[in-house]
Each structure stands twice: as structure tokens, then as C-alpha cells.
Structure 1
Amino acid sequence: MTESTLTTSTGELRTWLIQRIAEYLEKDPGEIDTEATFEAQGLDSMAALTLCDDIEDQMGLVVEPTLAWDHPTIDELAEFLVTTAAEEH
């Protein structure tokens, strides 16, 4: 496991996820709905895999490639990542 560059704050993770999803979808972060599914917002499988890579790089967590489908909203994913990071440390 590599050193995390993100804290395990749900708020910080939500903000980071919003920024990442907005970049993948070429949208303004204000257009991203944290309660809408990634699929409903237009996230494709390649972007979902890239998100997994970014999470691994930023948090030092190894995540499954199905992460965006197992935790399909930003809110759900942020909660999962906070819990997982706490269990890892």
C-alpha cells in the first residue's frame, strides 16, 4: 500500500470525486449530482476504470474494477472509501 495523498474525510473525498467525475465527463463540478448514479451521469466503463486507478494512486487502496457499479453514487463511494481506509489503517 502506498502513502495516501487524501485524508479519510468524507467531505474531502466527495469534493475530490466530484472533481474527478466532472473532468471525465467534461462538465463543470457544479453539474455533478452526488446522489445520481455514475451511469445516469454518463460515466462509461473506461472512465470508471480510470477512477479506480486514480483512487488507488491517491489513497493507496487496491479497489475492484467494479467499484463504480458496487457503489454507484459519489455519496455511496465516498462512504465506502472512508470505511475501507479506516479498516486498512
Structure 2
Amino acid sequence: MTTAPEHTVESLRTWLAACVASHLDKPADAVATDVPLTSYGLDSVYVLAIASELEDEFDVSLDPTIMWDNPTIDALSAALVAELASA
């Protein structure tokens, strides 16, 4: 199965950075993609909100642990591409 063009690591990284930045009230380029989300002070409530936005945006049901198992935007982007490709 081929991943749809909109489901690339790069596009998911960009989307996630913008999503995290909106929760932090910062510009997307102020969010480093290789830093754990907890470093930005995002607690479990914010992480679950981001997971919910991911599910809505990409019409997929995610295991809640995906956010903890992949703590950076880079890691999460790669995991999501695999998850979306298998959906």
C-alpha cells in the first residue's frame, strides 16, 4: 500500500508543529520537532487534545499511547505515517 501524498512525514511534521504551536500560542517555527512535547510544558490534557485533533483531521482512531511512545514531533510524524498507511 502506498502512503497518500498528504500523509508524508514532512506534511505531518508541519501539521503537528502548527497544532502544538497553537496550543502554546506561538508561531509554528518556534516549535522544535526533535524536542519532547513535555519540554514545552504540555501536560496529558494537552497531549490528549492534540491526539483528538489528529483523529479528527486524519479520520483515524489512535491508540492513546502513541503520543507517549513517540514523544517528539519527528517520532510521532513517522509513527503516524505508518499508522495512516495501515488504516
TM-score range, shorter chain: 0.7 to 0.9
- Structure 2 portions without partners, runs of 5+: none
Q: For 1:1-89, list aligned pairs within 5 A.
A: 7-88=6-87
TM-score when normalising by structure 2: 0.87
Q: Percentage identity across aligned positions?
A: 34
RMSD (Å), alpha carbons: 1.4
Structure 1 runs (4+) greater than 3 angstroms displaced = none
Q: Residue deviations 1:1-45, cap 9 Å, x none? A: xxxxx9211111111000000011111211101000000122111
The structure carrying a bigger helix percent of its residues is 2
Task: Say which is worse superposed, 63-72 or 34-43, in terms of deviation.
Answer: 63-72
Aligned residue pair count: 83
User: Aligned partners of 1:13, 1:24: CA distance in 2, in Å?
Assistant: 17
User: Aligned partners of 2:70, 2:82: CA distance in 1, in Å?
Assistant: 13
